[in-house]
Chain A
Amino acid sequence: MATIYIPTFFRQITKGNEYILVEGSNVLESLESLSYLYPEIRDLIFDSNKQVLRHVNIYINNHEIHELEGLDTLVNTGDQIAVIPALAGGAMTLSTEKNANQSALKPEEVMRYSRHIIMPQVGPQGQRKLRDAKVLVVGAGGLGGPVALYLALAGVGTIGITEFDVVDLSNLQRQILHQTRDIDKPKLKSAKETLGLYNPHVEIIEHPMPLTSDNAMDIIPNYDIVVNGADNFATRYLVNDACYLAGKTLVDGAILLFDGQLTVYKPGYCCYRCLYPDPPPPGMVPSCAEAGVLGAITGIIGSMQATEVFKQILNIGEPMVNRLLLVDALTMQFREMKLRRDPSCPLCGDNPTVKELIDYDAFCGSPPIEVPA
């Protein structure tokens, strides 16, 4: 007795069931048993010679059966079999989802992303959503690094990065996209090289400038989701306002010392200005450069930001909307606070006064960002 995982778009045949229990001593018998229960599925798995269609991969306990004994691979009680077609096009007429990009995943993509695809919450359709997604990462440093890395590994098709700094020796204690040989290299170049080595299928769009009031509305509307890895309050208010005005979801994270924060701002719910109506005066809250930051906390918060992006793209789970997560690495306590839209918020409140981007350096009393020559 084994369990067969049925991908989303075959489930109309299996009456919505994700998992079907079947009898069979090997893979062939198990699939025959499935086809006996649901005759329509036979032609979606086998050709007329009873061979598995070449665009369908069969996995047993996460191993593709060609790595094993093919259809003769023995099946033991409790084994998990998964039927994963590389091409969904032929089966799309069965699916209720008409709007998904129809272009199929290539076999190499199916293998590369198989640990995601095999999960019912992702499946081939979800993987195509990831491939079709465009995500902007603000900064290629402590938070932007793990965010961009996990998005690239997951096959998020288009990743934009805004970054104008160069790699400094003091960055290497935490910034995982850069290595010792990259010192003095533009971070954006280093980031693109690293991400390309991890996953050459992902397009990295370079925005080699600081995000400003003049360029933010030219850049942000081109993306589906924005991830904040900024290191100063002026940029945080700018990104918040621009995302709200452009109607984009902002996955926000911040770190200092041993502390981390995570939340998701979705237009209409709550924004950074609802949480913090005014920035602190310059010098009141120290920066990581002044106070220090634990390298690994960037990985914790950045990985969680990437997870929230993943959930947004796939529309699964419970997003961190109207929730603020606080991580204290010293006690390893995770606490959650409720966030609310503030009706008096100047941006997203009932009578907004901020209707376009402002001068954020003046708002924060901070000196303008200096771009290295």
Chain B
Amino acid sequence: MTIKVQVTSVIQKVVNGQSEFEAEGSVISELIENIEIDYPGFLQQIADESGELHRFVNIYVNDEDIRFIDGKDTVLNSGDVVAFLPALAGGL
């Protein structure tokens, strides 16, 4: 299942500066594993050492937060867009 992945600037540094790329996965957890294989260091940006997702990073399938679907078990369909969004604090 090819999924379009979008990341904001904080994460772009670990995916060769891309804001958008493709990855394979039938559920979110599998997608993350595959991205980590392609871009080592990705997982560290979004999860802690035990693999638990950081609570300041939200993951959206299309425009819906996975916490309100099935979390890491959320099923992906071909053509879905998955976005990884860490909190931003800048204002000055």
| Same assembly | yes
Partner of A285, one of B60, B86, B92: B86
Q: How far does the alpha carbon of A293 sit from the alpha carbon of B68 in the complex, in Å?
A: 32
B48 to chain A, nearest CB (A): 9
Q: A259-B8, A280-B54 are in contact. Are A285 and B89 (CB under 8 A)?
A: yes
The B-contacting residues of A in range 120-143, CB under 8 angstroms, are 138-139, 141-143
Partner of A280, one of B19, B56, B60, B65: B56
A304 interface residue per 8 A CB criterion: no
User: Is the Cβ of B63 less than 8 Å from the Cβ of A328?
Assistant: no
Chain B contacts of A229 at CB under 8 A?
Answer: 91-92
Q: Mark B47-68, 1 if CB is under 8 A from A, else 0.
A: 0000000111010100111011
Chain B contacts of A335 at CB under 8 A?
Answer: 6, 63, 83
User: Is the Cβ of A254 less than 8 Å from the Cβ of B63?
Assistant: no
B11 to chain A, nearest CB (A): 10
User: Is the Cβ of B89 less than 8 Å from the Cβ of A231?
Assistant: yes
A269 interface residue per 8 A CB criterion: no
Q: A144-B91, A275-B58 are in contact. Are A337 and B63 (CB under 8 A)?
A: yes
Q: How far does the alpha carbon of A338 sit from the alpha carbon of B83 in the complex, in Å?
A: 12
Of listed A143, A144, A228, A259, residue having the most chain B CB within 10 A: A259
B35 to chain A, nearest CB (A): 18
Q: A276-B55, A338-B65 are in contact. Are A254 and B85 (CB under 8 A)?
A: no
A72 interface residue per 8 A CB criterion: no
The A-contacting residues of B in range 27-73, CB under 8 angstroms, are 54-56, 58, 60, 63-65, 67-68
User: Is the Cβ of A278 less than 8 Å from the Cβ of B90?
Assistant: no
Q: A254-B91, A279-B87 are in contact. Are A285 and B10 (CB under 8 A)?
A: yes
Closest to B86 in A: A285
A233 interface residue per 8 A CB criterion: yes
A39 to chain B, nearest CB (A): 53
User: Is the Cβ of A142 less than 8 Å from the Cβ of B92?
Assistant: yes
Chain B contacts of A337 at CB under 8 A?
Answer: 58, 60, 63-65, 83, 85
User: Is the Cβ of A233 less than 8 Å from the Cβ of B87?
Assistant: yes
A255 interface residue per 8 A CB criterion: yes
Chain B contacts of A288 at CB under 8 A?
Answer: 90, 92
User: Is the Cβ of B91 less than 8 Å from the Cβ of A277?
Assistant: no
A244 to chain B, nearest CB (A): 17
Q: How far does the alpha carbon of A340 sit from the alpha carbon of B63 in the complex, in Å?
A: 12
Partner of B91, one of A171, A255, A278: A255
Closest to B45 in A: A284
B77 interface residue per 8 A CB criterion: no
Chain B contacts of A175 at CB under 8 A?
Answer: 92
Q: A276-B56, A326-B8, A339-B65 are in contact. Are A141 and B19 (CB under 8 A)?
A: no
Closest to A143 in B: B91
A223 interface residue per 8 A CB criterion: no
User: Is the Cβ of A287 less than 8 Å from the Cβ of B87?
Assistant: no
A236 interface residue per 8 A CB criterion: yes
Closest to A229 in B: B91
Closest to A147 in B: B91
B78 interface residue per 8 A CB criterion: no
User: Is the Cβ of A328 less than 8 Å from the Cβ of B8?
Assistant: yes
Chain B contacts of A280 at CB under 8 A?
Answer: 54, 56, 86-87
The B-contacting residues of A in range 240-275, CB under 8 angstroms, are 253-259, 261, 275
Q: How far does the alpha carbon of A339 sit from the alpha carbon of B68 in the complex, in Å?
A: 10
A330 interface residue per 8 A CB criterion: yes
User: Is the Cβ of B89 less than 8 Å from the Cβ of A328?
Assistant: no
The B-contacting residues of A in range 298-349, CB under 8 angstroms, are 326, 328, 330-331, 335-340, 342
Q: How far does the alpha carbon of A217 sit from the alpha carbon of B6 in the complex, in Å?
A: 39
